[in-house]
Structure 1
């Protein structure tokens, strides 16, 4: 479970101090699906970075299963991210010279998984996202939707507890967007993941049971009725 308390994040831009988050309190239970939405510059991606341990707040605490990501050592934080948190980005962030299977394997290297097991788990993860026939293809040989599926497989191959997605459909057309969302929602239910996603797309936001709207660094939570 996540427990965020009084999370504030300040950035310095020249002589100006900007508060991206202002005293955010948020609880995310195990297995929750939460979508974060808001205007550009409102703080939604900053909040996701706090939840993912990619940045630390200026004030407040970000606890995941009792471990405060705001104060834990860098070595422990890296370990928590490697073991518990899978992250998907809008830009895919695949290594262009590696095959789909090799890209997925990179997530297992920090965990010390042996090469033979890495290959087996990467292949299985790619099969689970419908890319069992694309193991040896490099990113330039894949469509945008297929590249995002590789990125999803890379996030899931380490069997995380938490799946975070920052605008995962932002670079995709409408049809591919719907396919990727159906895949993500299916994986969320199948694996019992805690799933947190940032999106600017209101049609996607309406699909989530919980919606966090951020404006000027402050958060409003809404419970939504969703039919699956």
Structure 2
């Protein structure tokens, strides 16, 4: 699935050079579930952006299914993101003027899927996350946990190979956190996804089969025997 080879990412801030990633090597197999942890500014979100093709490394290779994302033309990279990678973010990123169903449908528009099929697939995806009765609700008419369920449905409606989540429970209380994690874990198992998540929450991390810790741009990975 993923093979990262000597990946570096450098930013210039004034006269200072920031090494967000510093020679990262990482292998992630099909169907893997990996949690990424580390201090603020350590490179967690930068690594997730590389895996999602949202940013390019300064050097090194980010290989997904034999294709180096770092070398793809922008149009092809956009296509890979649209077809193969689902994203869930801390802030939900829903369009406030669209209903839950319409928000989910937005993920299918770039794929050229016809409106009738888009509506059907969006309704099915929302039903799978327990929101079958909320299709016509706006984000403002739903709780934070329900909005994140919509975001999960939007990420999964295109049937991606990979699900990337950046602090998906960061804006939720403990009970909502557990609900959302139950949904994500169920989707991972049922759909056979490769699931990679950034989180600061140790209670979530300890349930993951593999934990990657990134500090000052360097990474270490361990198997979690207690998961």
Q: Where on the TM-score scale, by shorter chain, does this alignment land: which range? A: over 0.9
Q: Output the CA distance in 2 between the equivalents of 1:62 and 1:173.
A: 35
Residue 20 (str. 1) matches residue 8 (str. 2): no
1:8 counterpart residue number: 8
Q: Output the CA distance in 2 between the equivalents of 1:83 and 1:55.
A: 17
- Could you say what secondary structure the match of 1:30 adopts? coil
1:50 counterpart residue number: 50
- For structure 1, the 5+ residue unaligned runs are none
- Could you say what secondary structure the match of 1:21 adopts? strand
How many residues end up aligned between the 2 structures? 227
Q: Output the CA distance in 2 between the equivalents of 1:24 and 1:30.
A: 19
Residue 147 (str. 1) matches residue 144 (str. 2): no
- Could you say what secondary structure the match of 2:170 adopts? coil
TM-aligned CA deviation for residue 225 of structure 1: 2.0
TM-aligned CA deviation for residue 14 of structure 1: 1.4
Residue 206 (str. 1) matches residue 201 (str. 2): no
Q: Output the CA distance in 1 between the equivalents of 2:178 and 2:225.
A: 19
Runs of 4+ aligned residues of structure 1 deviating over 2 Å after TM superposition are none
Residue 190 (str. 1) matches residue 193 (str. 2): no
TM-aligned CA deviation for residue 16 of structure 1: 1.1
2:218 counterpart residue number: 218
Residue 118 (str. 1) matches residue 118 (str. 2): yes
TM-aligned CA deviation for residue 101 of structure 1: 0.1
Q: Output the CA distance in 1 between the equivalents of 2:204 and 2:10.
A: 29
| Deviations 1:154-211, CA, capped at 9 Å, x for gaps | 0000000000000000000000000100110010000000000000001111010000
TM-aligned CA deviation for residue 226 of structure 1: 4.0
Task: State the TM-score, normalized to the length of structure 1.
Answer: 0.99
Q: Output the CA distance in 1 between the equivalents of 2:206 and 2:35.
A: 9
Q: Output the CA distance in 1 between the equivalents of 2:104 and 2:226.
A: 32
Q: Output the CA distance in 2 between the equivalents of 1:11 and 1:206.
A: 32
1:171 counterpart residue number: 171
1:70 counterpart residue number: 70
- Could you say what secondary structure the match of 1:50 adopts? helix
1:133 counterpart residue number: 133
Q: Output the CA distance in 2 between the equivalents of 1:169 and 1:225.
A: 24
Q: Output the CA distance in 2 between the equivalents of 1:226 and 1:120.
A: 40
- Could you say what secondary structure the match of 1:158 adopts? coil
Q: Output the CA distance in 1 between the equivalents of 2:93 and 2:176.
A: 18
Q: Output the CA distance in 2 between the equivalents of 1:190 and 1:132.
A: 18
- For structure 2, the 5+ residue unaligned runs are none
CA RMSD for the aligned pairs?
Answer: 0.6
